[in-house]
Amino acid sequence: METGNVLLASSGANVGRVQTGKNPTLICVPIMAESVEKMVVDMNKAKASGADLVEIRLDCLNGFSPREDLQALITHSPMPTLFTYRPKWEGGQYDGDENERLDVLQLAMELGADYIDVELQVAREFYSSINGKKPEKCKVIVSSHNYQSTPSVEALGNLVAKIQATGADIVKIATTASDITDVARIFQITVHSQVPIIGLVMGERGLISRVLCAKFGGFLTFGTLESGIVSAPGQPTINDLLTLYNFSQLGPDTKVFGIIGKPVGHSKSPILYNEAFKSVGFNGVYVHLLVDDVAKFLQTYSSCDFAGFSCTIPHKEAAVKCCDEVDPVAKSIGAVNCIIRRQSDGKLFGYNTDYVGAISAIEDGLRGKHNISSSGSSPLAGKLFVVIGAGGAGKALAYGAKEKGARVVIANRTYDRARELADTIGADALSLSDLDNFRPEDGMILANTTSIGMQPKVDETPVSKNALRNYSLVFDAVYTPKITRLLREAKESGATTVSGLEMFIGQAYEQFERFTGLPAPKELFRRTMSKY
């Protein structure tokens, strides 16, 4: 079964953890310093951060003297130790004699290591060299790393059997994700494993394997002390695992939510929703989902455990076709930014909460400017409303503005797409390059719905500062950074500005309620986002 449902079942029991949360999955911090002294400092940091054990990467040490260094590391470690002496041929730094390397692992075992990691390729030799003399307390992890791809479920199953056959106490498989759907195969193997198993998928597309292994019964996951200093691609920090993802509280019944996008790493949605889930005691986790093909993603993760998704650039329009039912408003906009999986039958429902979030933020901005009360007609009625971009968010704003009685103009890099959208909703169209000279009247409203000006290209703007003088309000859907170049220049030109953060918070209220069935903690949302 290549893709399809990620099914749940109980998995191999964990060895030696005092259970504090809902899952027995351990958090291991890789220690990769170049000296024993620095390693001891890092081990204490790991302990203070809430780690369960440390992986000591002996191949990172400069000038290693086995007996005395191992003794020092084991004696001074404040927590259980896993020793790894990774050779170059398996992605590590050790480039010396193989027998000497295996002798060091054997010595670590004799001196009191809690775990050692031996590569599958040399596991048989290692076991025959120790001659059955393994201390009771030490567990052997036999590992296999694939830096190219993630094999089929069948091939992974065979690999597990091969690792088990060596006599391993714990199976470790690390593969590489070329697509986020690859991770489903590792979840399947993890969930059905009868032995303790570490199944992780490297790379940004594999990030969910490192978080959701707690739901699917993985033996351990890795969390780094600092971001960017990783022992394998895609590792999160221990701080993110524990505070952002609430890792120790994840269990088999935890519902999975996430943001589908490409790129997606910049999104603040996981911070917002996980904080809110925690505050109301909702058993859910919200993750970044770097998705290339939204249809393939939704087909692969089709179990009810994957309960709902936010959808962002560039998938909002494609998502419409993937839903079993689409809300009439989302259908007329032609874009979905919220997908809910009905728990009774697994059917997918698509909604658009973008336009409510954005339009109400713009209306509030106009009311504040003119001190208008919020009752009565919309302050957008009769205004000329220029939308930059004809994608999912552009459609949502154009539709919303039109509905409030505004006269709408669509400006887009490719004129044909602007024309197409304009014809659909009864608006005018412009090429983005003509926008600088478009000044039919004063007091217009401008809304940028493209990613122009988003990190990392923060010095870009869709329209020249000179052209901004004719607008009374400028809105930018980009919220990383909070104040884009467009908003900064609009403010300098005298316009009221509304940041994408307002739209982001507004559209999140409705999504939260659809995800959880609970009222959105609006104050908490504002407090959480005010920190960023």
Catalytic residues: 145, 172, 316, 354
Q: Beta-carbon neighbour count of residue 239 at 10 Å?
A: 15
* Beta strands per DSSP E along 94-240: 115-119, 139-145, 170-176, 197-202, 220-222
| Angle formed by the axes of helices 415-425 and 392-403, nearest 10° | 30
Q: Which helix (H) or strand (E) holds 249?
A: none
| Angle formed by the axes of helices 500-516 and 522-530, nearest 10° | 140
Longest Cα separation, the chain: 88
Whole-angstrom distance, CA of residue 430 vs CA of residue 387: 10
Spatial contact of 38 and 31, defined as CB atoms under 8 Å apart? no
65 Cβ contact partners less than 8 Å away, ≥ 6 residues apart: none
Whole-angstrom distance, CA of residue 515 vs CA of residue 532: 24
Amino acid at 168: A
Strands 284-290 and 471-476: unpaired
In angstroms, what is the C-alpha Rg of the chain? 27
Residue corresponding to tokens 């036999």: 142
